[in-house]
A and B are shown apart, each in its own frame.
Chain A
Amino acid sequence: MNLDSAFRTPHSALSVSFTLNGAPVAIEIDPADRLLDTLRYQLALTGTKEGCGEGECGACTVYLDGLPVNACLVPTYQVRGRRVETVESLDPASLEPFERSGATQCGACTPGVVMTAWWIREHPDLLRTHTIRELMAGNLCRCTGYDGIIDAVKDAIGDA
Chain B
Amino acid sequence: MKVLMPANLPEALGLLASDGAAIPIAGGTDLLVHWPIRGEAHDRTYVDLSRLDPLKALGWTADELMLGGLTTYWDVIRDGRAREEFPLLVHAARQVGAIQIQARGTWAGNIVNGSPAADGVPVLMAYDAVVVLESRRGREEVPLDRFYSGYKQMQRRPDQLVVAIRIPRRRYSYQVFEKVGARRAQAIAKVGLAVTRSGAGWRVVAASVAPTIRRCPAVEGLLETGTPIASPAALLPAIAQDVAPIDDIRSSAQYRTHVMARVLYHDLRDFWGKRA
Contacts and interface: CB of A to CB of B under 8 A. Distances in A.
Interface of A: 2-4, 7-9, 11-12, 14, 30-32, 34, 37, 53-56, 58, 61, 64, 67-70, 72-75, 77-78, 80, 116, 119, 129, 134-140
B100 A34 contact: no
A101 B32 CA distance: 35
A137 B48 CA distance: 29
Given A31-B3, A55-B32, A77-B5, 10 more contacts: A53-B33, A53-B35, A54-B34, A55-B100, A56-B97, A69-B104, A75-B32, A134-B185, A138-B98, A138-B186
Contacts of B29: 55, 70, 73
The 5 A-B residue pairs with the shortest CB-CB distance, nearest first, are A138-B98, A137-B185, A3-B36, A67-B103, A137-B98
22 contacts: A3-B36, A4-B35, A7-B36, A7-B39, A8-B1, A8-B42, A14-B3, A34-B32, A55-B97, A67-B99, A69-B100, A70-B29, A70-B101, A73-B35, A75-B3, A77-B5, A77-B48, A78-B28, A134-B185, A135-B98, A138-B185, A140-B186
Interface of B: 1-3, 5, 25, 27-29, 32-37, 39, 42, 46, 48, 50-51, 74, 77, 83, 94, 97-101, 103-104, 184-186
Contact of A68 (B2, B46, B103, B186): B103
A67 B48 CA distance: 20
Contacts of B48: 75, 77-78
Contacts of B77: 129
Given A7-B42, A11-B1, A77-B5, A138 B33 contact: no
A54 B33 contact: yes
Given A34-B32, A75-B32, A138 B101 contact: yes
A30 B3 CA distance: 10
A138 B3 contact: no
Nearest to A67: B103
A116 B33 contact: no
Contacts of A4: 35-36
A134 B94 contact: yes
B28 A68 contact: no
Contacts of B1: 8, 11, 30-32
Residue of B1, B46, B97, B98 with highest tally of chain A CB at under 10 A = B98
B99 A78 contact: no
A55 B3 CA distance: 22
Contacts, number: 110
A129 B102 CA distance: 15
Nearest to B83: A129
A138 B50 contact: no
B42 A74 contact: no
A7 B186 contact: no
Nearest to A61: B100
Contacts of A73: 27-29, 32-33, 35, 101, 104
A84 B227 CA distance: 57
A2 B36 contact: yes
Residue of B36, B74, B101, B104 with highest tally of chain A CB at under 10 A = B36
Nearest to A81: B51
A139 to B, nearest CB: 8
Nearest to A74: B28
B32 A72 contact: yes
Given A77-B3, A77-B48, A78-B50, A116 B99 contact: yes
Contact of B36 (A53, A55, A74, A116): A53
B84 to A, nearest CB: 12
A82 to B, nearest CB: 9
A119 B3 CA distance: 31
Contacts of A12: 2
A75 B49 CA distance: 12
B37 A55 contact: no
B186 A56 contact: yes
Nearest to B35: A34
Contacts of A34: 32, 35-36
